[in-house]
Amino acid sequence: MTIAKNSKMMGLLNYRLRLTLADGRAMAGHMLAFDKHMNLVLSECEEFRSVKPKAQGAKASLIKRTLGLVILRGECIVSISVDGPPPSSAAASRQAKMALTAGPGVARPAGRGIPVPPPGVPPPGLAGPVRGMGGPAVAAGPITFPRPPPPPMAGAPPPGFRPPMPPPGFRPPMPPPGMGPQGFAPPGFQPPYSGPRPPPS
């Protein structure tokens, strides 16, 4: 269902309305806005719902809950009725707006103290870096940055790295059978000859 802007709903703005919803609840609040799909914005909204007691023969009780600002979907609304006039402050402000007439003044944009540059000239502050304000001086050369340190070699520990110490009481592993302790040549090993070499023939 769609409604036009010039419908009776325009006359109900700020009125206190009571709405019945499809699930049986009732809402009451001041209508602030609506749209063509009948979606409503209600302020100071209250919800009323009747709860049937478990005991047979007892009357249903009406529970009231304050919700505040609510947006209601138009599909959920079954009926609308006027519950009260708009607040006096809203009615007075609406009448004051309608009573205002145009004065003799002329509207002009305010410059806020910043001079307006002529066409083709960038405004101050957008022309580029200013000396001493974060940018390089106008006469300065190109900006150079220091060269980053070379990356560490693959497999090498980073600078300042200390290998972990073995825990207290740790014994190094024993060498395999037939091998001497670490740092000593295995049995039967002949070191290379380092004496004088015979002349070539």
pLDDT digits (tens, 9 = 90+) for 120-150: 777 766 666 666 666 555 555 666 777 877 7
Give alpha helix (H) positions in 8-165.
Answer: 88-99
How far is it, in rounded angstroms, from Cα 186 to Cα 180? 5
Is the overall model pTM greater than 0.85, yes or no? no
Amino acid making up residue 42 = L
pLDDT value, residue 100: 60
DSSP-derived letter for residue 194 is: -
How far is it, in rounded angstroms, from Cα 94 to Cα 22? 33
- Please provide the average confidence, as pLDDT, over all residues in the chain: 77
User: What is the bridge-based pairing of β-strands 40-51 and 61-72?
Assistant: antiparallel
Element (H, E) at 83: strand 77-84
How far is it, in rounded angstroms, from Cα 50 to Cα 65? 12
Q: How confident is the model at residue 8 (pLDDT cuts 50, 70, 90)?
A: confident
155-171 core/surface letters (b: 16 or more CB in 10 A; e: else) = eeeeeeeeeeeeeeeee
Q: How confident is the model at residue 96 (pLDDT cuts 50, 70, 90)?
A: low
How far is it, in rounded angstroms, from Cα 71 to Cα 45? 10
